[in-house]
Chain A
Amino acid sequence: MSLVGPLLLATFLFCVGVYGLIARRNAVLVLISVEMMLVSVNINLVAFQNLLFPAEAAVSGQMFALFIIAVAAAEAGVGLAIILNLFRNRASVNVDDVDLMRW
């Protein structure tokens, strides 16, 4: 099985994620971008598992992917909670408005 397809897909997704992370100003979209980057990593993990250890029973690549999905879900939950709070206090979900940590 060729790796080219999955890898191209993963790369595309990752680049879209990075672009969204840096360029979008809406906090929800930034969060979604992060999720996309995580998904692209998952694709890589599953693809390489199948290529390198096809006979392995433990399927560790898939296990990793599951863990990452779980963590991503948690992260999304926390992120959304923060964004909700932000919206309540600032009436905005624009990340440019939040620079409390500035010197």
Chain B
Amino acid sequence: MDVLLEYAWLVPLLPLLSTAAIAAFGRSLPGKGSEIGIVALAASFVLSVGIAWQTFTAGLPEPFERSLEWSPLGGGFVFELGMLVDGLTAMMFLLVTTVSLMVHIYSREYMKGEPRFTYFFSMLSLFTFSMLLLVIANNLLLALIGWELVGLCSFLLIGFYWEDKSNQDAGNKAFLTTKFGDVGLVVGIIVLSAGMMGLGSSTPFNLQELNAAAVAGELSTGTIVLGMLLIFLGCVAKSGQMPLHVWLPDAMAGPTPVSALIHAATMVTAGIFLLARLFPVVAQSAVVMGVIAVVGVITLFFGGLLALVQDDLKKILAYSTVSQLGYMTAAIGVGGYTASIFHLFTHGFFKALLFLGAGSLIHAVHSNNISDMGGMAKSMPHTFWTFIVGTLALAGFPLTAGFFSKDEVLIAGDLWAGQGLVTGNLVYWVGLAAAFVTTFYMARACFLIFAGENRSHHAPHESGRQMVAPLMVLAVLSVASGYLLSPFSSEQYNFEQWTATPVIEELTYPFIDAGGEAAGAGVLASGSEVVMAAEDGAFGVLHGVPYWHFDLLAIVLVIFAAAVLLAWRFYGRGLPERDPTLHMGVATKVLVSKYGFDEFGYRYIVVPVRDTFARWATWSSNVVIDGIVAGAGRATKDAAMTTYRVLDQRVIDGGVNGAAFSAAWWSDRLKRIQSGDVQRYAAALVAGTIVLVLAIAAVR
């Protein structure tokens, strides 16, 4: 029964129609267009649920693909307008439509009274369409179209308050940084398609054909490494990986619902999605996997550190997004396909929840700074408990969704380490360390926001129903979504089975097959060590429903407790800066009089981590990397000025003008012969005749 899948194209189409409808007559409606967006998104959501159910219960079928020949591209090659619906698509559908629907509902209240309310909703719908187009695409070119449209919407929405220069700059920075990554993406797609053209395909962008060809070993290593590294550059920019994450914190200039939808739950996951889509190609090259893993590890750790020194709540969340995206990328790099997209899935819900919760708080106190909040637990009870749920999920507290998905990533790293691949160790240990950092900064934020006295100049009150209801829904999902792949889930129907395809299945769990034989393709099957290790039968646990890793559970719990306690130590009694003497006094007293441990920890761990390392990281992010970006911009501008002024205007144009001027100079000299004096002409005539006669005479 593929009936629903046949209509999967409706899922992206409805938001597109909604965009047009809102733009056309949204203003004249009582809800100023917001109702159109909500209805369209609700319909898309219902359809997505149906498709998700269809694929969830379908076992492991061949992916469902339908396409139209949309346009010839010359040389017999064809651009297809097509859809590829499998578990991965269905999962993204569900995530995007759910979060988008929640954001639409939430924005009705949050954006009330904004002058560009209708435009805002139109853009939200357009963004949703773009993301869904990227997800449903059955070929890279169509995916590229969605990808770029996502970037455009991001630009338009970040710069939503375009009266201020800083917001304009943020929008431009986001667009240009991601566009820089797109150089890699575009060239990467072209390189891969050239490989496919070499194989005689008439649809060189087709994803399934590409994956199949890669797995069958038909593509040359050079094509794969070059193509995938270039595509990964695009993913680095879009998914906020270091060093191209610089745009993401600035993007918080947009309205908060936009941050929730675009810069947390969906758009930034586009890069991860694309890597997952192309996982069979990625897995062919140890080089590519290694690069991806290292970039992911660096990002997940250093990205998280940056959040420690922020006062702006949205920036804390933005850096935590960078860090979590690092986990997803790193997971891809250590062969954890399921782990990566599972974390993507759960992260989408709880990060959207956190952002919307932040929006609710900001709405109440009219400030983004956690130093301006405090004591909000009493006045905003619903926001409080939902935000705490989101925080727990983000910190990976046991039995929340974040716990199951983050541990999946760590275990993927551990398994990879078991293959003798050092990137696995990196992911495992750095991942654990970053979990500590994450817990610490989230706990700090929570304490400063909810505990202590109200420091704002407003009397905060709970937001209205339209804002609270989405928070509650997302809070439930932030817990529940984790049970799709947990020790409690069904052996037959779970997240891993849902999102796998036959090709992926072969690649993701290559350690041993059902008969105990080493199986798989790509990088894992290529090394003899790997095969031998597999024959020992030490692995194979990742396939199927995970069991309890009690050792890991213990570590996670310890990390969680330590981080929360540490945060509570500093921030549990309100804003420390507010009373620095007390703060320093307590710290000094504890450190000096009681245990030496505290002081040691504070001076040699906390201070370096919280102040020096984090500041260094912020500095490197703001000064060095931003400086390089700005320097490149300035240098380009200078080069442009120089090229234009010197080379273009003087040298090249000078040559052109020179030809004209020399003609003018000569004519000025020659015209003097034309004296107008009849007798001079006559004299010249006579002289000329004489010369001619003499010449003829001489010749004869």
A and B bind? yes
**Would you call A22 and B676 a contact (CB within 8 A)?**
no
Using A18-B686, A22-B686 as known contacts, say yes or no to A95 and B671 having CB atoms under 8 A apart: no
**Would you call B682 and A100 a contact (CB within 8 A)?**
no
Proximity string of chain B (655-689) to chain A, C-beta cutoff 8 Å, 1 when within and 0 when not = 00000000000000001101111110011001000
**A10 near B: Cβ within 8 Å?**
no
Partner of B682, one of A22, A98, A103: A22
A window 5-42: CB within 8 A of B: 18, 21-23, 30
**A56 near B: Cβ within 8 Å?**
no
**Would you call A102 and B679 a contact (CB within 8 A)?**
no
**Would you call B672 and A103 a contact (CB within 8 A)?**
yes
CA A21 to CA B288, docked complex, whole Å: 97
CA A22 to CA B680, docked complex, whole Å: 7
Proximity string of chain B (30-58) to chain A, C-beta cutoff 8 Å, 1 when within and 0 when not = 00000000000000000000000000000
Using A18-B686, A22-B686 as known contacts, say yes or no to A99 and B676 having CB atoms under 8 A apart: yes
Tell which of A18, A101, A103 has the most Cβ of chain B within 10 Å.
A103
CA A99 to CA B683, docked complex, whole Å: 16
CA A48 to CA B679, docked complex, whole Å: 31
Report B547 CB to chain A, min CB distance, Å. 104
**Would you call A95 and B678 a contact (CB within 8 A)?**
yes
- Report chain A residues within 8 Å CB of B676: 98-103
CA A101 to CA B677, docked complex, whole Å: 8
CA A22 to CA B682, docked complex, whole Å: 7
In the complex formed, the residue of A with least CB distance to B674 is A103
Partner of B679, one of A21, A101, A103: A21
CA A101 to CA B675, docked complex, whole Å: 7
**Would you call A103 and B671 a contact (CB within 8 A)?**
yes
CA A19 to CA B679, docked complex, whole Å: 11
- Report chain B residues within 8 Å CB of A101: 674, 676
CA A22 to CA B683, docked complex, whole Å: 6
**Would you call B678 and A98 a contact (CB within 8 A)?**
yes
- Report chain A residues within 8 Å CB of B679: 21-23, 30, 95
Using A103-B671, A103-B672 as known contacts, say yes or no to A96 and B682 having CB atoms under 8 A apart: no
Report A100 CB to chain B, min CB distance, Å. 6
CA A88 to CA B177, docked complex, whole Å: 84
CA A21 to CA B676, docked complex, whole Å: 15
A window 72-103: CB within 8 A of B: 95-96, 98-103
Report A102 CB to chain B, min CB distance, Å. 3
Report B269 CB to chain A, min CB distance, Å. 78
**Would you call B682 and A99 a contact (CB within 8 A)?**
no
CA A18 to CA B671, docked complex, whole Å: 26
Report B284 CB to chain A, min CB distance, Å. 80
In the complex formed, the residue of A with least CB distance to B683 is A22
B window 101-159: CB within 8 A of A: none
In the complex formed, the residue of A with least CB distance to B682 is A21
- Report chain A residues within 8 Å CB of B675: 99, 102-103
CA A30 to CA B671, docked complex, whole Å: 26
- Report chain A residues within 8 Å CB of B678: 30, 95, 98
CA A100 to CA B686, docked complex, whole Å: 22
Report B570 CB to chain A, min CB distance, Å. 93
Report which A residues bind B (CB closer than 8 A).
18, 21-23, 30, 95-96, 98-103
Since A22-B683, A103-B676 are in contact, a sample of 19 more A-B pairs with Cβ atoms closer than 8 Å, ordered by chain A residue number, is A18-B686, A21-B682, A21-B686, A22-B679, A22-B682, A22-B686, A23-B679, A30-B679, A95-B678, A98-B678, A99-B675, A101-B676, A102-B674, A102-B675, A102-B676, A102-B677, A103-B672, A103-B674, A103-B675
Report which B residues bind A (CB closer than 8 A).
671-672, 674-679, 682-683, 686
Closest 10 CB pairs of A and B: A102-B676, A99-B676, A103-B671, A101-B676, A103-B674, A22-B683, A21-B682, A22-B679, A95-B678, A18-B686
